[in-house]
Amino acid sequence: MAAAGAEAGAPPKAKKVTSGKPGSKKKLILMAGGGVLFIALLGGGFFAYQKLTEPPPEPPRPPRPAAKPATPPPETVAAAPAPVNPAPAATPAATTPAEAKPVATVAPAEPPQPATPPPPPPPSAPFRAWVENLQIRGMRGGANPRIFIGNSSYQKGDLVNPQLGIIFEGYNDATRVLTFKDAKTGAKFERRN
């Protein structure tokens, strides 16, 4: 115990002194990391500057107009060639241009008339029944008509019944007529509201 008391009264041992200050390694590491971060920011800024200042791409060139087919010049009346005859002609008046046959000219054909599309088929019974029994809560006319069915709102061209494939086609303010279209067959059905 005497030894323990002697150690307790002894002055503390001195720590080993290293060169430099005690936090200098941490400062050196932080400065190196800050330098790397600064260089990365400079590189990113330069890249962003290059992307933002490059000129916009050239707009696409308009297509060249298609060459119109050249119309052939109108044919003129040509003289028929003289018949080849080994015998000498008895009279020179037999081969005059007045007796020559005229060449027939071809009249230009009329452009074909566009065929009128066939009328849409009549609406099916389920389609007609659904539209007739439809409970409409409200509608709005104008340039962008809307219809309110149940808790939903539909615009022109929206599918209002996916099971039957019914599309809201439009609303006419003047006649107060709603138009619906069957997406599968193209049949249309109108309902006055």
pTM value surpassing 0.75: no
Q: Do β-strands 177-182 and 146-149 pair in parallel, antiparallel, or remain unpaired? A: unpaired
Q: Residue 21: its pLDDT value, please? A: 65
Q: Residue 38: its pLDDT value, please? A: 95
Specify the residue for token string 């849409």: 120
Instruction: List CB contacts of 78: < 8 A, sequence separation 6 or more.
Output: 100, 103
Q: Residue 193: its pLDDT value, please? A: 78
pLDDT at 36 over 90: yes
Domain 125-192, CATH 2.30.30 — does that match?
A: yes
Q: Residue 73: its pLDDT value, please? A: 58
Q: Residue 105: its pLDDT value, please? A: 65
Mean pLDDT of the chain: 76
Tokens of 39: 């260089």
Residues in the chain: 193
The confidence band for 33, taking pLDDT boundaries of 50, 70 and 90, is very high
Q: Residue 79: its pLDDT value, please? A: 53
Q: Model confidence over 49-69: pLDDT tens digits?
A: 888 887 777 777 777 776 666
Number of Cβ atoms within 10 Å of the Cβ of 153: 14
CB contact at 8 A, 140 and 146? yes
The residues spanned by each domain of the chain are 125-192
Taking phi over 0 as left and psi of -120 to 50 as alpha, with beta for the rest, 116 belongs to beta
Rounded distance between C-alpha atoms, residue 37 and residue 43, angstroms: 10
Q: Residue 110: its pLDDT value, please? A: 72
- In the 8-state DSSP scheme, what is residue 54? S
Q: Do β-strands 146-149 and 152-155 pair in parallel, antiparallel, or remain unpaired? A: antiparallel
Q: Model confidence over 135-148: pLDDT tens digits?
A: 888 888 878 888 88
Q: What 3-state DSSP class applies to 160?
A: strand
Q: Residue 172: its pLDDT value, please? A: 86
Q: Residue 65: its pLDDT value, please? A: 73
The confidence band for 174, taking pLDDT boundaries of 50, 70 and 90, is confident
Q: Residue 6: its pLDDT value, please? A: 54
Instruction: List CB contacts of 35: < 8 A, sequence separation 6 or more.
Output: none
Q: Model confidence over 88-111: pLDDT tens digits?
A: 555 555 555 555 566 666 666 677
